[in-house]
Structure 1
Amino acid sequence: MQILQGKKIVLGITGGIAAYKTPELVRRLKDNGADVRVVMTTAAKAFITPLTLQAVSANAVSDSLLDSQAELAMGHIELAKWADFILIAPATADAIARITCGMANDLLTTLCLATSAPIAIAPAMNQQMWHAEITQENIAKLILRKIAVFGPGSGAQACGDVGLGRMLDVDPLVSHVCQFFQPASKTAQLDLSGQRWVITAGPTREAIDPVRYISNHSSGKMGYAIAQAAQLAGAEVQIISGPVSIGVPDGCKKIAVESALQMHQQALELANKADVFVACAAVADYRVSDVATQKIKKSADEMQLNLVKNPDIVADVAALPAKPFTVGFAAETQDVAHYALDKLKRKNLDMIAANNVALLGQGFNSDDNALTVFSSKNKTELPLASKKILAEQLVQLISQHYIEKK
């Protein structure tokens, strides 16, 4: 069954550039079974049109507290009673301030006062506005009032600044909403407090020249899902991540890298202090031996690149004198079990999770996956499921084997 089946969600959109993400957010909430009704502020309509949101939600969009037709039936009260959950995304600094003060000067803020449904906000603003003392005071007050705060994320912003303040991407926002409606998961019953987990995720990029590089299709979704599941269970989590477009899970620390050599260096440094090391990244096996300092111009019909082997990150971690519990990944297109078991033994791993990336609908860039997990004594099948659910199952399995070994 879809996680949000039958759930009624009001999506409040305020006037920030991140509003461009909301049509996809509506679509993904609906994919999970939700019925979504959109409420927009006047400023939000400068960034995205009500017609767009009406088309993707299949519901009329509400944008005025003084709509005479809607208010014949007390529309704002009807919406407030209808909602099972209110998500405000993006939530600008202005909207956060008005909600904190209890204002009701437009439809969205009025709904926040008139509803008994839980409310969550996804902050979106310039990094300096996010760090402003008054914004942090407002956020603290909302948290005390049991209003959930999803994000913000960190990264490049529309204004050119870099830092905290970006609205979380669609995937983590949907995940947060789904978690709210899910019964306590297996990871919530785990207690990984005091454990330090290091997880590699995403692809690596091996430069050819200043413009081009060799890479692969890894999205980082599986590694980030594992990181989130371990963090929710109480672990201290560090993610060594290649270039990805998804937000960092709340409570996790990200170490951004580009190449396999950079990831190798960070992995060996952090693994020395880790209890569990999960090598989920899709690391390039080879790199260009001589990277051009200038862009290579197109000339001959053929060109040859001399490649040299990259170090084997997970094998080197497993070879440390005081190695952590080491889990590898094997993304294969054929003979999955054969290659996985060979890697498990040859690289001295404690566990390996294998998947067939040639199968449609799972693996790279997909939201779903299926794994076969091997240890020296056991084989466990984790059937096709969302990467979030699969990550919870895998963290549970790793924890069991880690405790047994310890």
Structure 2
Amino acid sequence: MWKDKHITFFITGGIATYKVVELIRLVQKQGAQVRVAMTNTAMKFVGKATFQTISQHPVQTGLFEQVTSAPVAHVELADWTDIAIVAPATANIMSKMANGLADDFVSTTLLALTAPIFVIPAMNVHMWQSSAVQRNIKILKVDGVNVMDPDEGLLAEGYSGKGRFPENTTVMQYIEKKITVKNYSNLASLKNKKILITAGGTREYLDPVRYISNRSSGKMGYAFAEVAQTAGAEVTLISATKQLAAPNGVKVIYVETVTEMMTAVHNNFDKADILIMAAAVSDYQPVQFENHKIKKATQSDKLILELQETPDILKSLKNLHTNQFVVGFAAETEDLLNNAKGKLRAKGADMIVANDVSRHDIGFDVDENAVTILQPNEPNIQISKENKKVIAKKVLEVIAKRFA
């Protein structure tokens, strides 16, 4: 979520200002670019030089201070910003924001913002509980500003109460959750849907130590599982790999062979609303499994293997459909669309996601993909090269329209 995002920190005067230094570091470690604006009071707690050093950008404090080449500095910063974080937020800055006041660089820039704003208050418990502060918070929330509750605990005054600046990791989680909910609004119809997903490359064993498989890492299927779970779906993932961390909140069933995967799919298909067959399923398996490791031939330098087709999981479900929405994958190295069209007709799927696995920059065992979505009696939808999580979200958005 943070990678390559433009994050502006608006720092106001409070004892918790020092905590924002580490918060900026955490955001930068996630790949964000950071700029900082400060009030004059904030500089009484932590100097301007500290934030200039860690942000690697000039820090603007005065409304008429020219630290950039932009003719209107506060508008330039507002336009640059993807996410605004007011931290620590004092009662004073919240009052200005609620009433539209713009009498310094921070408040003027905040008024010019169109990006999401996150206010992280920190103050004395009695100030927090005052009717004026609570009234301003209500106004801010009505205006679409995200206001995080402070923590309870020991305050600077020496006694405990609600008003402490939250832990930095908690602040990041709060922002991530709010941004995610907004970004996933197109997937709202998937909430509480039961989604069954397969992932990874299956293995067909020749003997106890050797097998036939492919280069699939399972990343595409795991991306589907993570995005679907975030959207509020109830996700079961049938995985042919143990190399990836199980997504939080997702039930995982581990398998190895096509037969094991088919059994797991059949056992869960009747309870599913949606099936996404993202696994790279082996097309062939040995006719005979050798109980012992196959030794090198002494009379010949060749080993001839006899193979047979594996069961076709997707096709086996053709007559078992009730109301499930079935998505298959076509991983091809040539004639991508024609082969995908053939699968769409032959396998009784509602959708085929076609991708070119001959390329080394997309498809198998990498973090990015590019796909074409095929549906009966619908124009094809092309999705250009993106991170697999983005691909999964865009495919799920197309599926979600069927349930809207």
Q: Output the TM-score relative to the length of structure 1.
A: 0.59
**What is the deviation of 1:318?**
2.8
Q: Deviations over 1:17-42 (max 9, x none)?
A: xxxxxxxx96xx44xx558xxxxxxx
> For 1:174-323, what aligned pairs fall within 5 Å after superposition?
184-186=182-184, 189-299=187-297, 300-322=300-322
Letter paired with 1:249: P
Q: Distance in 1 between matches of 2:306 and 2:179?
A: 52
Work out whether residues 271 and 323 of structure 1, in 8 Å CA contact, stay in contact via their aligned partners in 2.
no
Partner of 2:169: 119
CA contact (8 A) 1:227 1:249 kept: yes
Q: Counterpart amino acid of 1:10?
A: R
Contact 2:223 2:388 in 1 (8 A): yes
Aligned amino acid, residue 229 of structure 2: Q
Matched with 1:399 is: 400
Question: Could you say what secondary structure the match of 1:292 adopts?
Answer: coil
Could you tell me how far apart the structure 2 residues matched to 1:372 and 1:321 are?
24
Cα pair distance change 1:258/1:9, threshold 3 Å: farther
State the percentage of identical aligned residues.
Answer: 35
Separation in structure 2 between the aligned mates of residue 189 and residue 253 of structure 1, nearest angstrom: 20
Cα displacement (A) at 1:115: 6.8
- State the Cα deviation string for residues 66-86 of structure 1 (Å, max 9, x = none): xxxxxxx989x958x9698xx
CA contact (8 A) 1:228 1:250 kept: yes
Q: C-alpha separation between the residues in 1 aligned to 2:201 and 2:309?
A: 16
In structure 1, distance between residues paired with 2:313 and 2:401: 24
Aligned to 1:10: 25
Residue-by-residue CA offset, 1:152-209 (whole Å, 9 max, x unaligned):
xxxxxxxxxxxxxxxxxxxxxxxxx987766822356513233111000111011111
Structure 1 residues 398 and 82: CA distance shift in structure 2, 3 A: same
| TM-score normalised by structure 2 residue count | 0.59
Flag as ranges the 4+ runs of structure 1 deviating above 4 A: 6-9, 81-84, 100-103, 113-117, 146-149, 177-183
User: What SS does the corresponding residue of 1:269 show, helix, strand or coil?
Assistant: helix
One-letter code of the match for 2:25? V
Residues 2, 211 of structure 1: alpha-carbon distance in 2 compared, 3 angstrom cutoff? same
- Mark the runs of 5 or more structure 2 residues left unpaired by the alignment: 8-22, 35-44, 56-84, 86-150, 155-162
SS at match of 1:268: helix
Instruction: Calculate the aligned-residue CA RMSD, in Å.
Output: 3.6
User: How far 1:282 sits from its partner (Å)?
Assistant: 0.1
Task: String of CA shifts for 1:6-58, please: whole Å, max 9, x gaps.
Answer: 5575359xxxxxxxxxxxx96xx44xx558xxxxxxxxxxxxxxxxxxxxxxx
What is the rounded CA distance, in whole Å, between the counterparts of 1:232 and 1:383 in structure 2?
23
Structure 2 CA distance for partners of 1:223 and 1:189, relative to 1, 3 Å: closer
2:328 matches 1:328 = yes
Alignment correspondent of 2:58: none
Q: What amino acid does structure 1 have at the position aligned with 2:296? A: K
1:314-333 CA distances to partner (integer Å, 9 max, x unpaired)? 11123215262111000111
Cα distance 1:296–1:273, how it changes in 2: closer, same or farther (>3 A)?
A: same
Alignment correspondent of 1:158? none
Amino acid at match of 1:240: I
Query: Secondary structure at the residue paired with 1:345?
Result: helix
- Structure 1 residues 360 and 269, CA gap change in structure 2 (3 angstroms): same
Q: Secondary structure at the match of 2:222?
A: helix
Aligned partners of 1:187 and 1:232 also within 8 Å: no
Using the TM superposition, give the Cα deviation of residue 148 of structure 1 relative to its aligned residue in structure 2, in angstroms: 4.4
Rg bigger for which structure? 2
Rate the CA distance shift 1:244–1:180 in 2: closer, same or farther, 3 A: farther
Distance 1:274 1:178, change over 3 A: same
Matched positions, count = 273
The aligned counterpart of 1:384 is: 385
CA contact (8 A) 1:272 1:323 kept: no
Superposition pairs of residues 92-111 of structure 1, within 5 angstroms: none
Aligned partner of residue 301 in structure 1, secondary structure:
coil
Matched position secondary structure for 1:191: helix
How much does 1:356 deviate? 0.9
**Matches of 2:389 and 2:176, distance apart in 1:** 10
Alpha-carbon distance between aligned partners in 1 of 2:214 and 2:391, rounded to the nearest angstrom:
22
CA distance in 1, matches of 2:24, 2:213: 39
Cα distance in 2 for partners of 1:2, 1:354 equals 29
Do the aligned partners of residues 276 and 371 (structure 1) sit closer, same or farther apart at CA in structure 2, a change above 3 Å counting? same
C-alpha contact (below 8 Å) 1:191/1:234 kept by paired residues: no
Instruction: Provide the rounded CA distance (Å) in 2 between the counterparts of 1:277 and 1:189.
Output: 16
Q: What displacement does 1:2 show? A: 8.2
